[in-house]
Amino acid sequence: MKISMYQASVPPMIRALENLGAILAKGQQYAEAKKFDPAVLVSSRLAPDMFPLVNQVQIAADAAKGGAARLAGQEPPSFEDNEKSLPELVERTRKTVAFLKTLKPEQFEGAEDRTVTWKVRDEMRSMQGYPYLFQRVLPNMFFHVTTAYAILRHNGVDIGKADYLGKF
């Protein structure tokens, strides 16, 4: 049985980003209930040498939209990295999900063998679609979604595994 690159990428990305948006909203509610500035959460990090929450969300969204777009043979949309609040980060996840929902399964036909090229800082990289999705895109997106979850949880937001996984 051949795997559908669309089914292996777009639906799990949408689910992860929708769940991320929901836990970010819980972070906003938590800050309001505890009467502290929600910007504290936006700039929080797990370790001094890690990116803060804002960057974790931006990178997760970029990994999803960039990876899916490239596999579909498109240029990924560009979003400014100017979010400064939890509601703006929630909106970033929503914009990314909206883009992912524009992609159609037929755009992914042959994507497993398609050479995908992307830029990392000043370096161009290339991989075939199958390893690109399973060794680069999905692990990268899930790493940053998980780290965003961990930052919120570490700061006391009442979230758990069910929030990360979402409803089935």
CATH number at residue 92: 1.20.120.450
Task: Report pLDDT for 120.
Answer: 84
Task: Report pLDDT for 111.
Answer: 93
* Total domains in the fold of the chain: 1
Classify 133 in phi/psi space as left (phi over 0), alpha (psi -120 to 50) or beta: alpha
Q: Give the predicted TM-score (pTM) of the model.
A: 0.95
CA–CA separation, 100 vs 17, rounded Å?
Answer: 10
The boundaries of the domain holding residue 88 are 5-165
How far is C-alpha 149 from the geometric centre of its chain's CA atoms? 11
Cβ-based burial of 64 (10 A; exposed 0-12, middle 13-18, buried ≥19) = buried
CA–CA separation, 87 vs 71, rounded Å?
Answer: 29
Q: What does each of the 168 residues of the chain score in pLDDT, given as a tens digit?
A: 577 999 999 999 999 999 999 999 999 999 999 999 999 999 999 999 999 999 999 999 999 999 999 999 999 999 999 999 999 999 999 999 999 999 999 999 999 999 999 888 899 999 999 999 999 999 999 999 999 999 999 999 999 999 999 987
